[in-house]
Structure 1
Amino acid sequence: MYRSLSLLAQHKEALVSAAYHHSTKVRPRDTRILYYDCTNFYFEIEAAEDMKQYGFSKEHRPNPIIQMGLFMDANGLPLSFTLFDGNQNEQPSMKSLEKEIIRDFKLSDFVVCTDAGLSSKQNRQYNSLGNRHFITTQSIKKLKKSLKEWALGPNGWKKTNSKQEYNLNKLDLDNDDSIYYKMRPINEDKLEQNLFVTFSPKYLRYQRQIRENQINRAIKQANFKQKGRKNNPNDPARFITEKHFTENGEKADKVQYVINKDQIKKEEMFDGFYGICTDLEASPLELIKINKSRWEIERCFREMKTEFQACPVYLRREERIKSHFLVCFLALLVFRLFKQKVPGYSSYELVKTLRKFVLTEISPGDYIPIFQRTDLTDKIHESFGFRLDRELITQKYFKKIFNQTKI
């Protein structure tokens, strides 16, 4: 098994390309929109070596990590992946993998959708060439002052399929579930693009509810004279500040922890707002729809780490580590194709049920099922056109199933 891993790594590009082309015979692949994101996987080791380096762990672990970049198509199916050192910047990984996809998959006309952390100037420029385009999230907090004032301004907001303009100060924020937007062209670093900003009262209510819970936790910390850490941007400790007592005009040693109301007001300014930058000429509804599907790639990573138990990684040789993640990638593709044939169930339910599909051999070539029949097992059998819960499964019936797999 371990020796075969060394062999697999040598054919990674060919296997991923073949998996893509064969998967199109099972389900059409929508490559008009490609989503890209990165995650990392930790190793149960203490010393960094080769690709296993200390970096920012998504799971906040102190172990060395290796990073993975993943492309996914608009149908939620993984397309290709790359691995790079745990201490490297994520941004350059996208361009190199994208070149592989263009070469091996014969793709040239697509839109790349990423989050703000991967939207470097070089990546935007590269995806504004030819028939390629980009859509990337844009932090409103990091905009220039004039653009920030425009984005947060109450006037000039519209709804999709409506020409009327709205003032945010006149909205019923407690009961309105509409999405408002405005758009303007900008020129950043000699790159022409459109800044698209949305405002959602529902999203505003959600953010304020989350913050209210965090403030309550911060108050408890302050009462117990705990300042906490500020490593995580969502940590309640960001609302706690130190207040030093003074005696005779000099700072005393006594310290009191209090809630920083200015920090709360500063964050509340951005509640409900969401920014996108793109060079694509598309309708507001289409941009919202495309960007909304970006969460699917996060689910891909979660399935690899939980259902497939891709980490911690116990391999040491670099080529075997690459093969480990190649197997995980291929399993993810097969599972996602399977999942779309059996909709309405969680990944956990499907994997748990599949692992219980056990048969026992009673005579050479003849088997009987020893798993419990459920609504989900019936749904799986109906979706794929054969049954494994028969009283007796003969070798002849197995051959019939195998014939169905030939494409």
Structure 2
Amino acid sequence: MAYKITKNKLKNGDTIYYINQVSRVPGTKNKHKQVMVEKFSANELILEGKDPESYVNDKMSEYKEAALEEVKSLTYTVDLTKKLTLSNNGDLQVVDDSKNLGFLAYSTLYHQLELDEFINNRRRYLDCTFNINVIFQHLLYSRLLWPASKKKTWEHKEKFFGDTDYDIQHVYRTLDPLLKWRTDFLKHLDRKIKEQYGRRNTVVFYDVTNYYFEIDEKDEEDGLRNKGVSKEHRPNPIIQMGLFMDELGLPITYELFRGNTNDCSTLANAMDECIIDFSTSKKIVVADKGMMSYYNILKIRNDHNGYVISQSIRKSDEDTVAFALNDKDWKELKDEKTEEVIYKIKERTIPRTARSYGDVDNSKHSGSYNERQVFIWSKKYADRAKHDRQDAIDKAHEATGKKSKDFKDSCYGKNKYLIKKPLVNGETVDADEFEYIFDENKLKEEEKLDGYYIICTNVVGTDKINEDCSPDKCWYKDGFLTFNRKVSAQEIVDIYGGLWKIEETFKVSKTGMLNLRPVFHSKQDRIRAHFLLCFISLVLERLLEFRMNWKYSSKQIQESLSSFSAVQMDNSNIYQISYYDIVIKEILTTLGIDVDRKFLLQSDIRRIVGKTKKKIYEQ
């Protein structure tokens, strides 16, 4: 039931406001009748000290709210004699009248980020008869709810309420302009997240992963797909993707690289090509030991930025290992019950020598710089190292005493802990075969370093704090990014600790809800457009998790929202909610989406969908 306000200006200068109830004439489609329910005189309202327009609008809102609370009942007739039908091929014709409602959550985020305005402001200049904004939303929502190919998404388009009048070729043609708008798209997303969520990107996390393709042959030199070190240990061609993430756990931007690109060499290019301004604004780049190269350190320092990057203790020089194993200067944390040491931390500042090839003469140059190093020992990491190694040790013990003709050295698996060449007085002896001997010394050397790791950084604090400046104010001096406050060694560890979120984000995009790989596109532009689509889907998904205070995993959210559907009752405009759970309830409450009844009219659903398109962001 709808309500409408009409006004009638009288000759005496007064204005009469009417609130009318509007309803459809039974048995007709477009005929409506109006019944006046209340009228007001503007002059009388003014005498009472009320603003006529505001008062009448408030009254109108009260009638609308009362209408929503009004108990409605309809008589519905079911034809129990209706038979199942067959297709022309003799198969049972599957009729599914259900439509998904889970997309409402992502529609709310999509419109609050004003992605619809971004698309519409640009598509008006394109010569196309289809609505790119609608297709783009369907591609995003489908990727988030039930990841599938573009063709499968098109086949399931009727699952969404609203406009679905487009063909499969329109889906593929939509990808082309989206890719042209990529940089503007990423900048728009970054700006809106800063405005609405207070994105803090002084600290940015960076990591690299790769995605495989169901093909055997690599691309030509100008293509992205090539055989490299796959994270899934697959022989297929892959693409490398570098991802930047902020302190809130929200993705900022991404870059794609050819599959055979070394992880370590991606960082400098990603910094130069991405939307983040590394050259004029102070940033702290946080990365794991795979990014620990002198070239990357020099790149960050040359831009007067900070870094927090881990370093492998096992690959460090003798002096570094000796400092770690020295018992001096450790600050210990003990278990309250057992008094056992569970965590230790200490630090030092030392000069380091960097060597890298010059961009101009391609010759190797070296230079020194001072670096802050934080050393950590953790019982948890020590226990994990022992657990991870135990399987190889057990197999090595099983192999001890056995004969073999394999004289190849190996540092992997059980062979790492076996002496494989017969020696006499330190000299290798020729033999047709030899006996495996367990290498106790090798095991002891490894166990000494269990639980230790190093975090290298140029981020420091100061004792001369300027009370007139913000504690987060920083400046670059003598190679160090210095904050206007004390920055403890533990704070450096805590900064580095946020890196786990980017690993989780990769899991979401791969084996989690987005199921980004394998990728089946073959054209380079389509591949790049596919990754852009998946990245924006990833942003929406992580935003929803953030709005839910990370209470539910991405998989839980996907399972609930993909099942959140309404089934249309036969020969009617009535929909029945077929699935509802606590995850859905809390998401709807958090986002302010009003779906709390089991039965909904089509007009109710149109109203709810319309509300998700409002631009208001409510924290």
- The TM-score normalised by the length of structure 1 is 0.86
Distance 2:437 2:410 in 1: 19
Q: What is the CA-CA distance between 1:364 and the residue it aligns to?
A: 8.2
For residue 222 of structure 1, report the CA deviation from its aligned partner.
5.6
Partner of 2:99: none
Q: 1:349 to 1:17 in 2, by over 3 A?
A: same
Aligned residues with identical type, % of pairs: 28
- Structure 1 residues 352 and 126, CA, compared in 2 at 3 Å: closer, same or farther? same
1:287 aligned onto 2:497 = no
Q: Contact 1:173–1:201 (CA<8 Å) still a contact in 2?
A: no
Equivalent pair of 2:330/2:345 in contact (CA under 8 Å): yes
- 1:286: Cα distance to partner? 0.7
What residue number does 1:169 align with?
none
Q: Tell me the residue number matched to 1:40.
A: 210
Of 167, 180, 183 in structure 1, the residue corresponding to residue 348 of structure 2 is 183
2:242 equivalent among 66, 69, 73: 69
Contact kept? 2:214, 2:518, Cα under 8 Å: yes
Cα distance, 1:230 vs structure 2: 9.3
Contact 1:17/1:105 (CA < 8 Å) preserved in 2? no
Task: Measure, in 1, the Cα distance between the counterparts of 2:409 and 2:204.
Answer: 34
CA distance in 1, matches of 2:607, 2:578: 17
1:370 aligns with 2:578: yes
Q: Which runs of 5+ in 2 are unaligned?
A: 1-170, 355-367, 461-486
**Aligned ranges for residues 210-359 of structure 1 at < 5 Å?**
210-220=388-398, 235-244=413-422, 251-281=430-460, 282-306=487-511, 307-342=513-548, 343-359=550-566
* RMSD of aligned alpha carbons: 3.1
Change (3 A) 1:345 1:230: farther
The answer for the alignment partner of 1:397 in structure 2 is: 607
TM-score for the superposition, normalised by structure 2: 0.58
1:358 is displaced (CA, Å) by 1.6
Return the offset for 1:353.
1.3
- C-alpha contact (below 8 Å) 1:42/1:64 kept by paired residues: yes
Does structure 1 conserve the Cα–Cα contact (< 8 Å) formed by 2:343 and 2:376? no
Q: Deviations over 1:304-327 (max 9, x none)?
A: 001211111111011111111111
Q: 1:201 corresponds to which residue?
A: 379
Match among 540, 543, 567 for residue 360 of structure 1: 567
**For the structure 1 residues 156 and 327, does the alpha-carbon distance in structure 2 shift closer, same or farther, using more than 3 Å as the test?**
same
Stretch of structure 1 that moved more, 188-197 or 332-341: 188-197
Aligned-partner residue type, residue 576 of structure 2: I
Residue 118 in structure 1 maps to residue 291 in structure 2? yes
Amino acid at match of 1:268: E
Mapped to 1, the partners of 2:591 and 2:252 lie a distance apart of 24
Distance of aligned partners of 1:399 and 1:9 in 2 relative to their CA distance in 1, 3 Å threshold:
closer
Structure 1 residues 359 and 131, CA gap change in structure 2 (3 angstroms): farther
1:255 aligned partner, one-letter code? F
Residue 289 of structure 1: how far off its partner (Å): 0.4
- 1:100-140 CA-to-partner distances (Å, cap 9, x unmatched) read 44666997122000112212222212222455201110122
Q: Is the 8 A contact 2:401 2:435 kept in 1?
A: no
Kindly state the Cα deviation for residue 268 of structure 1 after the two structures are TM-superposed. 1.1
Any idea what SS the aligned residue of 2:597 has? coil
- 1:243 deviation in Å? 4.9
Q: Find out whether 1:57 has 2:230 as its counterpart.
A: yes
**Aligned mate of 2:264, from 88, 91, 94:** 91
Query: 2:44 corresponds to which residue?
Result: none
Q: Give 1 or 2 for the bigger CA radius of gyration.
A: 2
Contact 2:253 2:275 in 1 (8 A): no
Q: How far did 1:260 drift?
A: 2.5
Q: CA deviation at 1:87?
A: 1.0
Tell me if 1:9 matches 2:179.
yes
Cα deviation code 1:322-377 (max 9, x no counterpart):
11111111111110110122232222212211211222345787533221x22222
**Residues 250 and 131 (structure 1), Cα distance of their counterparts in 2 relative to 1, 3 Å cut:** closer
Matched, 1:22 2:230: no
User: In structure 2, what is the Cα distance between the partners aligned to 1:177 and 1:224?
Assistant: 39
C-alpha distance in 1 between matches for 2:431 and 2:199: 67
Q: Distance in 1 between matches of 2:278 and 2:587?
A: 31
Q: Note if contact 1:369-1:389 (Cα within 8 Å) is conserved in structure 2.
A: no
**2:503 alignment partner AA:** E
d(CA) in 2 for partners of 1:191, 1:384? 50
Conserved in 1, the CA contact under 8 Å of 2:201 and 2:247?
Answer: yes
- In 2, the alpha carbon distance for the partners of 1:243 and 1:258 equals 9
Distance in 1, matches of 2:517 and 2:401, equals 39
> In 1, are the aligned partners of 2:176 and 2:526 still within 8 Å (CA)?
yes
Q: CA deviation at 1:18?
A: 1.1
Change (3 A) 1:265 1:317: same
The one-letter code sitting in structure 1 at the alignment partner of 2:447 is: E
Query: Which moved further from structure 2: 5-14 or 48-57?
Result: 5-14
Contact 2:278 2:303 (8 Å CA) reproduced: no
What CA deviation, in whole Å up to 9, does each residue of 1:18-45 have, x standing for no partner? 1111223442212121000101111111
Gaps of 5+ in 1: 161-165, 167-171
